[in-house]
Amino acid sequence: MQISWDDFIKIDIRTGTIVDVQEFPKARKPAYKLWIDFGPELGIRKSSAQVTKHYQPADLLNRPVIAVVNFPPRQVADFMSECLVLGVYDENKDVILLKADRPLPNGLSIG
């Protein structure tokens, strides 16, 4: 399915940094609770991320990420996920997180 440029620009994709990570035993599939700093405009947003195959909590703390920040909040077990962290599925369908190839400020728009 093709989308138009107008469709694409509706997606707000931003740079951020993970500032807190917690185990998420109540999630149906293995996941972590993430708190991500998107800078002064957006602040800190929460996300549930199924990235436990490739990352330990210590690997994620202070890690830069790229996320969609304008989806409506979604209830995941007892946690409200406010953004979608982006990644690539490996050959086993496990997620490897996306990040920029150099340090960037939090909150920059991707386009």
Residues 6+ apart with CB under 8 A from 1: none
| Angle (nearest 5°) at CA 21 between 45 and 80 | 40
pLDDT by position in tens, the chain (length 111) = 999 999 999 999 999 999 999 999 999 999 999 999 999 999 999 999 999 999 999 999 999 999 999 999 999 999 999 999 999 999 999 999 999 999 999 999 998
Residue 30 lies in a domain: yes
Question: Residue 90: its pLDDT value, please?
Answer: 97
Nearest-angstrom CA–CA distance, 34 and 60: 9
Could you tell me the CATH number of the domain that includes residue 62?
A: 2.40.50.140
Question: Residue 31 corresponds to which tokens in the numbers above?
Answer: 């996941």
Residue 33 lies in a domain: yes
Question: Residue 111: its pLDDT value, please?
Answer: 81
Residue 77 lies in a domain: yes
Q: Which structural domain range is residue 69 located in? A: 11-97
Residue 48 lies in a domain: yes
How many domains does the chain fold into?
Answer: 1
